[in-house]
Amino acid sequence: MGRSGQVASAVQRLAPQLLPDRPLVMAGRPELDLAAPAPVLAPQLEALLEQHQPALVLNAAAYTAVDRAESEPELAEAINATAVGLLAAACAQRNLPLLHLSTDYIFDGSGERPWQEDDPTGPLGVYGASKLAGEQALRAAGGPHLLLRVSWVFGLEGANFVRTMLRLGAERPALSVVADQIGGPTSADAIASTLLTLAEAASAGVLADGRPFPWGTYHYSGQPAVSWHGFAAEIFRQALELGLLERSPELSAIPTSSYPTPAARPANSRLDGTRFQTTFGLPLPDWREDLRQCLSAWAGEP
């Protein structure tokens, strides 16, 4: 589900090479409107699943405008919670595996320890609350599902922090960036690659070694942890090397209190990916390497 978001775009681009024998159907507007009322959306979902008879559903669609969600709570709830519940119920009825993405924003950002999957949740704003409600609806449906919580997504397509920093870095001689929010930048390509890598086993219900597929909730985010300020500094360093910027702006570190936003952000967005690594034997991505690949593609390097 989803067509134009960062992860959905990466899935479309990478699927032909990672799953060459599995046809991919991307569903989105106009045939599927996740913001539609339940009596409209439910039959749309039923018709879509009946028409294509998929072996697995990957939901990469979401309302992700964190600040705007504060003034559009009904829309955020419709897409991130109600639609997820309807999709999960339709999949569960068919015993159809559902892969779904959630976010670090379901936590309150307290402390400094990386968040584990079973830690208490406490979203600070509408966006996080809507994503948490989606998680709860997914579990309540009772079907086989893999819920992957990710953080600070960036990628080749769509709006994201990397694009914003490059634009502002070219326009301004100096920038101030928040330094007291810590998390793990995660590339859309890494997320898409991981989901596509797990898709074959998930659709079969068993891992390569014969174990039943370990459904449930996992954390997956880029390493090492870094502040937005540190992320920006690395973006400018690499962009300068690749010729994407002629000069690097003077970068100042500021506290969150100096950059007020409509929605509160968690100070601690670190996600502990140990469960994911040990369960699936797959590595967590190094965001610095993924950033280099992203910037290199924009610079036209092979």
Pairing mode, if any, of strands 182-183 and 145-150? unpaired
User: Which residue among 127, 218, 220, 259 is the active-site one?
Assistant: 127
Q: Which contacts of 28-33 are long-range, i.e. CB under 8 A and separated by 24 or more positions? A: 28/1, 28/2, 28/3, 28/4, 28/61, 29/3, 32/1
- Looking at the DSSP bridge assignments, the partners of residue 182 are 227, 268
- Looking at the DSSP bridge assignments, the partners of residue 294 are none
134 and 102 Cβ atoms separated by less than 8 Å:
yes
Q: What is the CA radius of gyration of the chain?
A: 19
- Give the 3-state secondary structure of residue 214: coil
Written as six digits, the tokens of 41 are 């959306």
- Identify the H or E element spanning 187: strand 186-187
d(CA 250, CA 122): 36
Q: Is 127 a catalytic residue?
A: yes
Where does the chain have alpha helices with state H? 6-18, 38-52, 73-77, 83-93, 126-141, 161-171, 188-204, 228-242, 274-280, 287-299
Pairing mode, if any, of strands 226-227 and 182-183? antiparallel
Pairing mode, if any, of strands 98-103 and 186-187? unpaired
Q: Please, what is the Cα angle at 286 between 23 and 232, to 5 degrees?
A: 110
Which residues are identified as catalytic?
127
